[in-house]
Amino acid sequence: MTVEPPLQLDNADVLGIAEDWVRAGRSVALATVVETWGSAPRPVGSHLVIDGDCHFEGSVSGGCVEGAVIEEAIEVIGKGEPRLLEFGVADETAWRVGLSCGGRIRVYVEKVV
């Protein structure tokens, strides 16, 4: 039996989805990895698009980091003010928060209009 890995959208797909959602009248935020140090599951430039109903596509990290980014994105959609988020952990606790080992990432979250 072969198990297929989960489908990962490339950045062009995620940006296209963001554009489609805005055209459809949905409130949308875009999260972008802008900086990494040490180990990080996604490279700089990775995107996650989120709408006001908590639908999302793409990825900026994984685990609870991604959940926290989604929560922040909902607030960004409501207030319209962008945010720069930073997440970091030591090697010992990295797996519990969704980072493959110790590292830090910065994620910029902005409302798409």
pLDDT in tens, 15-68: 999 999 999 999 999 999 999 988 778 899 999 999 999 999 999 987 788 999
Q: Decide if 84 contacts 34 (C-beta within 8 A).
A: yes
Q: Tell me what pLDDT residue 63 has.
A: 76
Distance (Å) of CA 78 to CA 27, 28, 110: 9, 10, 11
- For the whole model, what pTM was predicted? 0.81
